[in-house]
Structure 1
Amino acid sequence: MKIERLEIEDVVLFTPKIFGDERGFFMETFRQETFEEFCGNYQFVQDNHSKSSKGILRGLHYQLKNPQGKLVRVIKGEVFDVAVDMRSKSPTYGRWVGAYLSDENRRMLWVPPGFAHGFYVTTDEAEFVYKCTDYYSPGDEYSVHWADAGLAIDWPIGDVPPRVSEKDAQGATFGEALGY
């Protein structure tokens, strides 16, 4: 497994080694001891799977009382995945990092608790799976607006605005958002 710390070193990109031949392939997608060495001692309590069409943008979501760390990957298609540091005492507070995740590169991204998370679908459709360190709590979910000028996220959207949920369209600016 190739492991790379991104510009925000707490966010980690994993690229698994693929073993394949004419019959198919095998890859290890998770090993607790390796994960703990590079990301910390977290336990996952919930797995999620979503499917979205091209041009969909989901996020930027976070929870305050039950912050979720997420180990995310794409099993079909491609997304541009983004993590925003919401930890007010962090030296990287208010900064973001992004990575392309796809069924071809098979990368996984660790988004630690204390980060807002979102993704934009760049292919006709994408299936996105992720492990969470805490349970989803609907009353504790917040959203930072995906196009907040202060964050200046370089989404690969081109000239067509992304399709977002009503909740995400109403997301707060980063300056208005509640941090950790």
Structure 2
Amino acid sequence: MKIKNVNIAGLKIIKTKMFFDNRGFFKEVFKNNLIKKNFKFDVMSSSKKNVIRGLHIQTKKPQAKVITVVLGKIMDVAVDLRKNSKTFGKYYSLIISDKSEYSFYIPEGFAHGFLCLSNKCIVHYKCSEYRHKESETTLDWRDQEVKIKWPIKKPILSKKDKIGKNLEFFR
């Protein structure tokens, strides 16, 4: 496994090892010696095509995450909401599928979300902190200042994600 940094400090692509044979594949997803973080909580979500989940953040008890796609293909997005960061309000996105040889590490202080690009997506999240419902909030997926280039105009959204806050709220 190897780590690749991207253009926003803290975000990392974890290059995984995949082993293929006539049965399919075996994939190493995470090793503690690469990212020294105590991950307490693992969750999975299932989504259908054109669903956007996010952009979520916990303002108290923030979570670092490792995102791995188990089935399908997503456009994964992380938005820097760290108040003193040089890249506050900037985002990084990438396409991840079940065939990708990588996972995406997102440290604390980032809003996270994704768009399901295939008929069905199953996404696994390793989280460094438990869910803290009282401080969960959502950045508006179409915030005019962040300007994420989503390849969709009318996604399927939860009630919570339809009323996301603008970037100004997080300053």
Q: CA deviation at 1:80?
A: 0.4
Q: CA deviation at 1:2?
A: 3.7
After superposition, residues 97-116 of structure 1 pair within 5 angstroms as 97-116=92-111
Asked if 1 retains the 8 angstrom alpha-carbon contact of 2:76 and 2:96, the reply is yes
Partners of 1:2 and 1:170 in 2: CA distance:
38
Structure 1: runs of 5 or more not aligned: 37-41
Partner secondary structure for residue 139 of structure 1: helix
Partners of 1:27 and 1:52 in 2: CA distance:
22
Say if 2:170 is the partner of 1:178: yes
* Normalised TM-score (structure 1): 0.91
Structure 2 match to 1:22: 22
Partners of 1:94 and 1:57 in 2: CA distance:
19
Partners of 1:26 and 1:166 in 2: CA distance:
37
Structure 1 match to 2:155: 162
Amino acid at match of 1:155: W
Partner secondary structure for residue 160 of structure 2: helix
Partners of 1:70 and 1:91 in 2: CA distance:
21
Partner secondary structure for residue 131 of structure 2: coil
Amino acid at match of 1:80: M
Structure 2 match to 1:34: 34
Q: CA deviation at 1:106?
A: 3.9
Partners of 2:2 and 2:9 in 1: CA distance:
15
Asked if 2 retains the 8 angstrom alpha-carbon contact of 1:79 and 1:101, the reply is yes
Amino acid at match of 1:129: H
Asked if 2 retains the 8 angstrom alpha-carbon contact of 1:80 and 1:156, the reply is no
After superposition, residues 1-180 of structure 1 pair within 5 angstroms as 1-36=1-36, 42-157=37-152, 160-175=153-168, 177-179=169-171
Asked if 1 retains the 8 angstrom alpha-carbon contact of 2:17 and 2:101, the reply is no
Amino acid at match of 2:45: S
Q: CA deviation at 1:161?
A: 0.8
Partners of 2:140 and 2:42 in 1: CA distance:
25
RMSD: 1.2
1:36-94 CA-to-partner distances (Å, cap 9, x unmatched) read 3xxxxx20110001000000001111011110111111000011000001011011111
Structure 2 match to 1:39: none
* Normalised TM-score (structure 2): 0.95
Partners of 1:93 and 1:147 in 2: CA distance:
16
